[in-house]
Amino acid sequence: MNCIDIISRALRRIGVVAGGELPTDIEAQDALETLKSIYARLLTEGAFGEITSTIPASAYTAGENERVIISTLAVTDVELPETITECGRERPVRDGAIIVIANHLTNQTTTYVRDGQANVWCDMDNLDLTSAAPLSRRDAIGLSSYLALELCDEYRQQPSEITIRNAARFTMGITHNWSEPQTIGRGVYF
């Protein structure tokens, strides 16, 4: 789903737009800014896990949940991994993994979240209305409900109980990483 789909659902949930209608440009842009703020809040509240910092000296491939600080001209490229090697074995990057690239030379920061179901990195800082909405493949109804709750004050609306429950389930699912399959391995005893 793209951002405008999530925004339209959220605005329908609180009665700002009717079924089958699209929000106005102003409503859509305001809701997009709120959606971006939701992603930033999830990051700062630690919903994706703890983030470690690294200052590379040359070209670098980032790791899961890593803040890469670029502070030298020698670092011209930071790659986002497609696989992670642990204990000599490769595995896919964890769904919901975060990489933050903070370029101190340009004063720009870009935050990426891994959408494991689509197998892509989503740029959370440069979203527009047609961008794929990060985390929407996990629970589109929950994400739109969470956005609807945030927009209720702005539009002086009361959310329904189901919207409140769906938003709570979404945040719990993200925080507890319920969409991540459990790793099952064969035990080696001898």
Write out pLDDT tens, residues 152-178.
999 999 999 999 999 999 999 888 766
Rounded-to-integer distance, Cα 103 and Cα 67, Å: 10
| Paired tokens of 88 | 């000599």
User: Partners of 68 in the beta sheet?
Assistant: 54, 101
Q: What is the mean pLDDT of the chain?
A: 91
The label of the residue with tokens 């490229």 reads 77
Confidence check: pLDDT of 130 > 60? yes
pLDDT value, residue 187? 58
| Paired tokens of 39 | 């992603």
Confidence check: pLDDT of 57 > 60? yes
Amino acid at 164: I
pLDDT value, residue 179? 57
Give 11-20 pLDDT, tens digit per residue: 999 999 998 8
